[in-house]
Amino acid sequence: MSLMLSDMMGENDDDNSELSEHARFLTKGAFLLTPSHDLSLDKAANICDKLNFRGSFSLTKTATGILFKFSEPEDFQQVFRKGFHKVTGGRLYRKVAIPCRPQKTFSLLVHEVPVDLPEDDIRASLYRYNSVVEVTRLQTRLEQPPGTPNPIRITVASLEEYNTLLQQGLDFYGATYFPTEPLKKDMLKGSKEGEKLDLLYSQYRNNYVGSSSGLLPVFDSAGFSRIPPPPSRTLKPARS
């Protein structure tokens, strides 16, 4: 388990929802406890240390309280439901759930996936990747030969994992590698998927270019759930 503590004067332990190596992680659940009263970082850390977490967590001192961040949604739910009245001296406080989203996501297309192959199996085959946000088959047919199945769009929050998928293709349990290519906005022009991308881009611009009415999409924590490695067994022919 990785525990990182920082205060207002120190280094930030991680940027908002960025994926990185070792000490930093993709934040999949977070809440602010405010005001923190007598709850110090050490006391909060001791509470978290007593819980059986699946992933990493960090604590950050803010201007009014303590920000709890978790790499696993289940760990977030476990602490968010917990009361802190004893360590805050019985004084009132609030727990404010923070919507978590990656700072940036990367989308690519996977081709030649048979229509009858379930999307859940495609997603499960990505168990080596930690930042999978979405796996869905496009409903709009792109420019491709007749009879070719619609591609599957995969969105990840890690540039490294995105590049790996582009370079190696999608490894389907070692049975095959489905070809991949970057998803370009022009590919979906005029389609429902393209309209969704336009809307998200518009919301992004409104949120960061000055309009207060824009809202960024919030990714459901279920999209970040851990994908376990599959059980497997290799049988060798008996020697004659």
181, 111 in Cβ contact below 8 A? Answer: yes
**pTM, to two decimals:** 0.60
Tell me the two tokens of residue 47: 């509470």
pLDDT of residue 171: 96
- CA gyration radius, the chain: 22
Domain ranges within the chain, ordered by starting residue: 3-98, 106-224
Among 3.40.30.10, 3.40.50.10210, 3.30.70.330, 3.40.50.300, name the CATH number for the domain at 106-224. 3.30.70.330
Tell me the two tokens of residue 112: 């030649």
The correct answer on CATH 3.30.1360 for the domain covering 3-98 is no
Cα 118 from Cα 71, distance rounded (Å): 27
- CA torsion 62-98-3-20 (nearest 10°) is -110
Q: What is the mean pLDDT of each run of 10 residues along the chain (240 residues)?
A: 39 41 69 88 84 87 91 89 80 89 87 94 93 88 82 92 96 96 78 59 43 40 66 71
pLDDT of residue 121: 95
Tell me the two tokens of residue 180: 């991949």
Question: In which region does residue 37 sit, left (phi positive, over 0), alpha (psi from -120 to 50) or beta (all else)?
Answer: left
Residues 6+ apart with CB under 8 A from 100: 17, 27, 28, 29, 30, 218, 219, 221
106-224 and 3-98 share a CATH fold: yes
pLDDT of residue 197: 58
